[in-house]
Amino acid sequence: MRKTIIVVDDCSTDGTRDWLKANFPIGARMGAEISIRTATEGSPWRRRFNDPQITIQPRYHERNRGKGAARRTGFAAVRGDVVVIQDADLE
C-alpha cells in the first residue's frame, strides 16, 4: 500500500524546520535516510526508509498561522482515501 507522510512545519521554534531541511533537502521524495538525535543518548540514530511505497512531503509556513492553517495545508496535499492527523507539538 502506498503511503504519503505530509509534514507541515508551522514556523516551529523547536528545530523541526532545520531537521526537515537537513533530512529532506530536495523536498518530497520516496524513501529516505534520516538522522534522529535521541534525547537520552545525545547521539544520532540513523533510520533508513527504503520503502518506495512511502513518500515524505515537507511543507513550510513562513510564519506561525496556527493549527487550522496547518491542517488546511496538509489537506490540500492529500491525494489518498484515508487521512490520519498526528499533532507533533507535545500534544
Q: How confident is the model at residue 53 (pLDDT cuts 50, 70, 90)?
A: confident
**Does 88 reside within a domain?**
no
**Does 85 reside within a domain?**
no
Number of structural domains (the chain) is 1
Tell me the residue range of the domain where 10 lies: 3-77
The whole-number pLDDT of residue 73 equals 94
**Does 61 reside within a domain?**
yes
Q: What percent helix, strand, coil does the chain show, rounded to 5?
A: 20, 30, 50
Q: How far is CA 30 from the centre of its chain?
A: 13
**Does 91 reside within a domain?**
no
The whole-number pLDDT of residue 74 equals 93
Model pTM above 0.75: no
**Does 68 reside within a domain?**
yes
Here the cell at position 65 is 498561522
